[in-house]
Structure 1
Amino acid sequence: MVDQFSPTPLYVQLADLIAKRIESGELQPLKPLPSELRLQQEYGVARGTVRAAIALLRERGMVMTMPSAAHTSPSGVGRRSPADSAGRRG
């Protein structure tokens, strides 16, 4: 779960949690991610937080977005580590 009191922005925490699910194989390459609404409900965050997390995962090369959904990358593994984005604000 995300930590509301952590100095790390919520969207970075959420992106890291989703990244772990991709890396573990729980979320499969080239398959849709759970919907924004489902992620909101699952992690107790706002829609903007979910969208920012997906954008960060896209920057890391871990997901690609299609017109109506975000999908994991072909390999499911990105170019950047979670620590690369830890200094972001959001």
Structure 2
Amino acid sequence: MEYGPDDQVERDAPASPFQQLAGILRARVKRGDWKPNRAIPSENALADEYGLSRPTVRRAIAALAEEGLVYAVSGRGTYVVEQQPKGAAPNE
């Protein structure tokens, strides 16, 4: 299921809360809510914003990291990866 950047997590939806949050955050990254190489909100801030526990938020962020959309810097936060334009070759 596709999620939009302005969606909210629904407790009674068929998808788990972490899957819903991952979809919402993915849409926000793609919309450009957070610039490349800039931090996204902290786990605590996202947990408060979406009414979820930190482990649920952490799992959603981990899913985005596996997809290559964000990366974590220990002790600093989670940052948006700079996206390559479609059809562009990665830098060597």
Query: Fold match, TM over 0.5?
Result: yes
Greater helix proportion: 1
* Runs of 4 or more above 3 Å deviation: none
1:55-74 mapped onto 2 (5 Å cutoff): 55-68=62-75, 69-74=77-82
Q: Which runs of 5+ in 2 are unaligned?
A: 1-7, 86-92
Please report how far the alpha carbon of residue 74 of structure 1 lies from its aligned counterpart in structure 2 after TM superposition.
1.5
Query: How far, CA to CA, are the matches of 1:48 and 1:61 in structure 2?
Result: 20
Q: Which runs of 5+ in 1 are unaligned?
A: 78-90
| Greater RCO, CA 8 A, separation 6+ | 1
Distance 1:62 1:22, change over 3 A: same
Total equivalences in the alignment: 77
Tell me the equivalent position of 1:29.
36
TM-score norm. by structure 2 comes to 0.79
TM-score norm. by structure 1 comes to 0.80
RMSD over aligned CA atoms reads: 1.5
AA matched with 2:78:
A
1:1-90 mapped onto 2 (5 Å cutoff): 1-68=8-75, 69-75=77-83
Q: Percent identity?
A: 34
Larger Rg: 2
